Structure 1
Amino acid sequence: MRRPEAAPQAGRGILACRLARGAARLSLVLAVLAATVLFPPPSAAQLLQPERRVEVNAMEYPWSAIGRVNAGGRGHCTGFLIGERHVLTAAHCLYDPVVGRWRGAIELHFIAGYQRDRYILHSKIASYSRPETYVYNPKPDPKAASNDWAILTLAEPLGRQAGWLGIKALDSLMQSRVKAGDALLLQAGYRRDRAHVMTAGWACALAGVIQGGRLLLHDCDVIQGDSGSPLLLYADGEFFAIGLHTIDLVLKEKQHLGGVLSLSLFHPNGGRADAVRALAATSVRWAAGQLPGAGSAAARVPLTTIDNLLAKLGYLQLTAGGPSGDARSAALSRFQDENGLARSGKPSIAVMGHLLHASTP
């Protein structure tokens, strides 16, 4: 006769569980907000605008310096080259939660220029370094995220062919330039929903700084698979990596924020001791990046991205075989004339930066 009471009791149990989960999420949000230096929130128009994300040709620089970190056939993350033999990625990508152990270097493989199961530039991992103090946590944890980095040492000097990204610390001056629209933030990686193509999003806005400046919050659209990807800065005609994506947070129903580990962590002036030592043990230097070497299969100019952006802005009609050089040159010249730029008609990384700026609402 007690069966009729079972359903209400179960309902109360389910409700209690939901309330507990809701309280846990709220606690995380409040903890993040309490420790966050917030910038002005995005406007309603920014939150509702169509996603600014395009497929890019992974065999064109700077995208060629970004690749997939394949982990023992059990998933992938993104990583990026910062030197001939060194890749930055997130430490949690190297942990096997099923078995409960750190993967060995032999289980890891880095692939640059990966697009639809086709890859030419790849290397096994000879070794890697990570913070001994990092503790894997499957749930979003800002404290753990601020310690979530790893440097992979490749068996092959892949950077000579793929190129690599320069690394830069995002100082207050550059933050002001980003806010003023004089510099641009981007993110590119191998998302879970499009794991076999690289996509890039741009015009990301900084949303805050937490964990004593170690973690930057931004509104790029990032999901699983983007972990380990770079937060890119385009300024003064060059691309730099300024952060390493480690965590996703949801602060509002329509506002998902990505958390990136600031690369200032590795800077010899003010960085964290173990990160500074790990980078100093490599050949990586705080300098501009490097284009793919002469004769490499990776292109030094991102023609595909430039063509797609010209088409997006209405300057170029894309055809099945791709535009002719003359058509591209004419489109670029018109774009430069209408935007007050010196006319060259020639594609370049700097021109791509101008196109990205022009594509920003």
Structure 2
Amino acid sequence: MSRISLIILALCLGGVAQPALAQEAPLKRLDTGDDGRGWEAVGRLELAGRGFCTGALIAPDLVLTAAHCLYDSDTGARLDHQKIEFLAGWRNGRASAYRFVRRAVVHPSYVQDGAVAPERVRNDVALLELRHPIRNARVAPFATDVRPEPGQRVGVVSYARGRADAPSLEEVCEVIAKQEGVLVMSCDVDYGSSGAPIFTFDGDVPRVVSVVSAMAEVDGRKVSLGTQLQLPLEVLRAELASGGGGTAGDGPFMAEVGQVRETGAKFAKP
């Protein structure tokens, strides 16, 4: 059994009550404009030619994703954030908006070369400031919310291996456990899903409560891991407000609906 499987078993079984899992919904590919309506603020993050992750717009100029997406998975080196591009609502060769990144901050306690353990997962979150805000009525930023409880229904919208050209929605999965700042969820993720937003559906609109950090197995069953978002996000916002994250040139590039783009299908590891 792998190290991560042992860790997850400890999280799930170490004194944490496990609720009965709800009937989970299958992945739904959001291929058409009707299918994807309301989810345009989820997009692909093109990682300087080193693969892609998933990200979500939480303000007109802020994208939330996983910290490890900002590192080269082979060398561990930090990527040049100026070369990272957010493709809002990317679907079948088109995006609702294209933006390059101006600044990027990762949680100060995140360690890229550490083992996949609770202390790494709970800090695996990053905030990207775009060069230009996305002010497009079709791309409405998501609100965030407090951490969900075990047994609570959640969902995920992500790009991944085998579904890189359009996002997929899993509207019903569940929080299995939470411990040491980590959420263990039954959501179906794969390579490329790193940084994907986890949503709750309480109230009228979906709200982001976590981002996908890793995939693993518990007793042969795939699960996903993510941070309990609220406190890490406060840290990242403060870091940006204090001027952190580096600055990029004020490049002229920005485009809206209708521009077609060729993009590769390499994968960043969750």
User: What TM-score does the superposition give when structure 1 sets the normalisation length?
Assistant: 0.60
SS at match of 2:64: strand
Match of 1:40 in 2: 19
The CA distance in 2 between the partners of 1:38 and 1:267, in whole Å, is 27
| Structure with greater strand share of residues | 2
Does residue 169 (structure 1) correspond to residue 146 (structure 2)? The answer is yes
Match of 1:187 in 2: 156
Q: Which whole-Å deviations, capped at 9, do the CAs of 1:131-181 have from their partners, x for residues lacking one?
A: 233111486333211110110000111154521001100355xx67x3xxx
Q: Structure 2: 5+ residue runs without aligned partners?
A: 244-255, 259-270
Given the alignment, which residue of 238, 248, 256 partners 1:277?
A: 238
SS at match of 1:243: strand
Given the alignment, which residue of 28, 37, 56 partners 1:54?
A: 28
Which structure: larger Rg? 1
Match of 1:262 in 2: 228
Counting only pairs closer than 5 Å after superposition, residues 149-298 of structure 1 correspond to structure 2 as: 149-161=125-137, 162-170=139-147, 178=152, 184-211=153-180, 214-253=181-220, 255-266=221-232, 274-275=235-236, 277-278=238-239, 297=257
The CA distance in 2 between the partners of 1:197 and 1:141, in whole Å, is 31
Read off the aligned partner of 1:116 and give its amino acid letter: N
Counting only pairs closer than 5 Å after superposition, residues 120-139 of structure 1 correspond to structure 2 as: 120-137=96-113
The CA distance in 2 between the partners of 1:25 and 1:165, in whole Å, is 31
Instruction: Quickly say closer, same or farther: Cα 1:279–1:197, change in 2 above 3 A.
Output: same
Deviates further, 153-162 or 56-65: 56-65
Instruction: Quickly say closer, same or farther: Cα 1:230–1:69, change in 2 above 3 A.
Output: same
Instruction: Quickly say closer, same or farther: Cα 1:54–1:281, change in 2 above 3 A.
Output: farther
The CA distance in 2 between the partners of 1:92 and 1:218, in whole Å, is 19
SS at match of 2:59: coil
The CA distance in 2 between the partners of 1:42 and 1:239, in whole Å, is 21
Q: Structure 1: 5+ residue runs without aligned partners?
A: 1-21, 179-183, 269-273, 283-295, 299-361
Read off the aligned partner of 1:205 and give its amino acid letter: E
Answer yes or no: is the 8 Å Cα contact 1:36–1:209 preserved in 2.
no
Counting only pairs closer than 5 Å after superposition, residues 295-306 of structure 1 correspond to structure 2 as: 297=257
SS at match of 1:116: coil
Counting only pairs closer than 5 Å after superposition, residues 14-163 of structure 1 correspond to structure 2 as: 22=1, 24=3, 27-33=6-12, 37-42=16-21, 46=23, 52-57=26-31, 60-137=36-113, 140-161=116-137, 162-163=139-140
| Structure with greater helix share of residues | 1
SS at match of 1:223: coil
* Percentage identity across paired residues of the two chains: 24
Deviation at 1:267, TM superposition (A): 6.6
Read off the aligned partner of 1:168 and give its amino acid letter: D
The CA distance in 1 between the partners of 2:5 and 2:98, in whole Å, is 43
Larger RCO (CA within 8 A; separation ≥ 6) = 2
SS at match of 2:166: coil
Read off the aligned partner of 1:42 and give its amino acid letter: L
Answer yes or no: is the 8 Å Cα contact 1:66–1:80 preserved in 2.
yes
Deviation at 1:249, TM superposition (A): 2.2
Instruction: Quickly say closer, same or farther: Cα 1:99–1:242, change in 2 above 3 A.
Output: same
